[in-house]
Chain A
């Protein structure tokens, strides 16, 4: 039987859009980590855009990351399991939590 030799890393158009948006957040916005845990979450302030937002990350990945932006509750919730561009940018910037991005593109 002839083997299928074509191997590729599967990238969805959806991932592409979100990663590009996150890239713009990294370049233009300021991401500040608050010094202490708040109710067990590491909290980041994302400022410099039209509005300021707060991203919460569970340090041991017991819950998926959350953001206060409307996109996380609406479009991103449906298209990317709630991973808005602010969450993606925060996770990309902080390598210790980067693993939590996995579900964004599974």
Chain B
């Protein structure tokens, strides 16, 4: 067997966050360690945190490439009385032994040494460090980048590879938008990513800055702090110049939507004349964002239903809008249920969806 085997996970193109989550959780629950590969910034660390939360385990987050091997495997000190060497484990080992934890070994294949691999071998295979055995409920999830993503990758030994169940994650617009809505990501960015999809959410580049789910989240934080005249340069620093240019062109379109006027009933969006998906997405995100940050009187609730049932708004746009509303303005979403027009919209959407199963 080739001792320095390259990692080749099942499924060349990988799976999405939503597809992988239940399978990885079941694999970990079966006591099998998992190696999750994927491009930088795709959400591997977020998945580790979410898995720990859903499995009710403490998260131990270890960036392998930033650790000295002793911080992984501990150090031996002489005990003069017994004339033996005693292992002093790092503090995380005591936690992993004392209670059910999810040990997340990030950057697993990034420039790790043989000493790192030796410690990792014990962690993954034996779930122990020296004589310190992990709690029976402690599980191990490792993550790393792929060679094709221009990341520095150290091949792992085939013996170590063979101890893992391997999964590969790819970026997914729908899953990211759901996460983004729940994590306060700038609505303009969400609208832009929804409009253009995976091609703007993630693009590998030789440049230092390029768009990934993580760099879009960085861009969102920057936009909240930077002066408008510096926004483009600040964005380019996070997502690269070409994507920042494209985003700014889109913003020109987005600013044409009078969200407050639509909610107040003073204006209507004409999706028959402006039927381009980019405009419809811009309108949906602009109105949803406005609703999420303003108090809406009961008298305006019907305007919201009128907006989303306007001629030219297809069911997939309606679902997107309702998802945004449910994620960002749950109270308002619940108030809409009192309207018969909203219940009709909901019933129509459900019937359309369920018609697949009611033949």
Residues of A within 8 A of B (CB): 1, 3-15, 19-20, 22-23, 60-62, 78-79, 91-92, 95, 98-103, 105-106
A13 with B19: CB separation less than 8 A? yes
CA distance A10 to B324 in the complex (A): 14
CA distance A101 to B19 in the complex (A): 22
B337 with A61: CB separation less than 8 A? yes
A4 with B357: CB separation less than 8 A? no
**CB closest residue in chain B, given A17:** B22
**CB closest residue in chain B, given A58:** B337
Query: Which residues of chain A are near B197, meaning CB under 8 Å?
Result: 4, 6
A99 with B346: CB separation less than 8 A? yes
Contact check: which of A6, A10, A61, A98 meets B319 at CB < 8 Å? A10
CA distance A85 to B141 in the complex (A): 32
Known: A5-B277, A6-B197, A103-B326. A98 touches B347 (CB 8 A): yes
> What are some 25 contacts across the A-B interface (CB < 8 A)?
A1-B246, A1-B250, A1-B278, A4-B196, A7-B277, A9-B316, A10-B174, A10-B319, A11-B353, A14-B18, A19-B354, A19-B356, A20-B357, A22-B357, A23-B358, A61-B337, A92-B354, A95-B347, A98-B347, A98-B354, A99-B344, A99-B350, A101-B354, A102-B322, A103-B326
- For chain B, the count of residues having a C-beta within 8 Å of the partner chain is 38
Give the one of A7, A20, A101, A106 with max B CB within 10 A: A106
CA distance A19 to B250 in the complex (A): 38
CA distance A19 to B355 in the complex (A): 10
Query: Which residues of chain A are near B163, meaning CB under 8 Å?
Result: none
**CB closest residue in chain A, given B246:** A1
Query: Which residues of chain A are near B338, meaning CB under 8 Å?
Result: 60-61
B245 nearest CB across to chain A (Å): 10
Query: Which residues of chain B are near A60, meaning CB under 8 Å?
Result: 337-338
Known: A8-B316, A99-B347, A99-B350. A106 touches B19 (CB 8 A): no
Given contacts A60-B338, A78-B54, 17 further A-B contacts (CB under 8 A): A1-B249, A1-B250, A4-B197, A5-B277, A7-B277, A7-B314, A19-B353, A19-B357, A22-B357, A23-B358, A61-B338, A61-B343, A92-B357, A98-B351, A99-B344, A99-B345, A106-B326
